[in-house]
Amino acid sequence: MRILVVNPNTTASMTERIGACAQAATSAGTTVRAVNPDMGPASIESHYDEALAVPGLLSEIARGEADGVDGYVVACFGDPGLDAARELATGPVVGIAEAAMRTATYLGRGFSVVTTLGRTCGRAWDLAERYGVQRFCRAVRACEIPVLDLDDPGSDAREVITEECRRAVAEDGSDAIVLGCAGMADLCTHISARIGVPVVDGVTAATRTVESLVVLGLRTGARGEFAAPRPKSYTGLLRDFTIA
Are residues 18 and 90 part of one domain?
yes
Inter-residue contact 213 to 71 (CB < 8 Å): yes
Are residues 211 and 184 part of one domain?
no
Are residues 220 and 140 part of one domain?
no
Are residues 173 and 104 part of one domain?
yes
- Taking only Cα atoms into account, the Rg of the chain, rounded to an integer number of angstroms, comes to 17
Are residues 197 and 228 part of one domain?
no
Supply the range of the domain harboring residue 154. Answer: 98-202
- What's the average model confidence in pLDDT over 168-194? 97
Are residues 77 and 110 part of one domain?
no
Q: Is it the case that residue 207 has pLDDT exceeding 90?
A: yes
Q: By percentage, how much of the chain surpasses pLDDT 90?
A: 98
pLDDT at residue 9 in the model = 98
Are residues 40 and 17 part of one domain?
yes
Predicted TM-score (pTM) of this structure? 0.97
d(CA 93, CA 15): 18
**How many domains are contained in the chain?**
2
Are residues 231 and 189 part of one domain?
no
Inter-residue contact 80 to 56 (CB < 8 Å): no
**CATH number, residue 122:** 3.40.50.12500
Are residues 87 and 125 part of one domain?
no
Q: Is it the case that residue 222 has pLDDT exceeding 90?
A: no
Are residues 105 and 62 part of one domain?
no
Inter-residue contact 138 to 112 (CB < 8 Å): yes
Q: By percentage, how much of the chain surpasses pLDDT 70?
A: 100
CA distance readout (Å), 142 to 6, 46, 98, 192: 24, 14, 18, 18
Across the chain, mean pLDDT equals: 97
Query: Which ranges of 107-221 does DSSP label H, i.e. alpha helix?
Result: 121-130, 157-172, 188-195, 202-215
Are residues 209 and 89 part of one domain?
yes
Are residues 22 and 140 part of one domain?
no
Summarised one tens digit per residue, pLDDT across range 73-91 is 999 999 999 999 999 999 9
Inter-residue contact 214 to 4 (CB < 8 Å): no
